[in-house]
Amino acid sequence: MKRIILIGYMGAGKTTLGKILARSLNLEFIDLDWYIENRFHQSVSQLFATRGEEGFRKIEQNMLHEVAEFEDVVISAGGGTPCFFDNMEYMNQQGVTVYLKATPETLRTHLRMGKQKRPLIAQKNDEELDAFIRESLDKRESYYNQARLIFDTGLLDNGTRIQEAAQMLVEKVIQSSEF
C-alpha cells in the first residue's frame, strides 16, 4: 500500500506536481481542498467566510482523517494543513510526507497570479503579499521541515521542465527507504 502526502506553502506546486507524481506511480490523486469543496458543496473561500478560519481548520482536519485512510494515493494537503492540531504528526504516521520547498520569491510570483481563490491572501496588494509570505513561511517552516522528505522545487526556476522535476521527485520518493 502506498500513500504519499505532499505539503508546502500555497503556490509551491503541490497540485501540479502531485498530479504528475500520481500518474507516474499509478496512484490516485487527491487534493484535500477539492475534496473539502466537494463534500461541503462550497469553495474554500466560502467556508472561510461562513465559518471563519477556525471552522475551516476543523473541517480540514476531519477531511484529512478521511483521505489519509485511502490507499494507493498521492494526497496534496493545503498549505496550512500541517500547522494545525497534530496534523503533521498524523500525516507522518499515515504516509510518506514530502515538503515541496520553494523560496518566498517563487511563491510570490506564483501567488500574484493565483491569489483569488485563496482567502488568506485574496485582498492583499503586492507589498502586503510579500510581507505575509515571508512572515508566515517563517512560522510554518518548523512544521513543514518535519516531513520525511524535502524536495527543493528551486530547480523549476532554473529552467528545469515540470515533467523532469516531477521525475526527480518520483525517483526521490522511490529511493526513500520509507516507500
Our CB check for ligand S3P shows the closer of 26 and 54 to be 54
3 in contact with ligand S3P (CB under 6 A)? no
For 94, the grid coordinates are: 499515515
Angle between helices 162-175 and 14-25 (to 10 degrees): 60
13, 20, 21, 33: which one binds ligand S3P (CB under 6 A): 33
Our CB check for ligand S3P shows the closer of 140 and 179 to be 140
59 in contact with ligand S3P (CB under 6 A)? no
10, 64, 75, 165: which one binds ligand S3P (CB under 6 A): 10
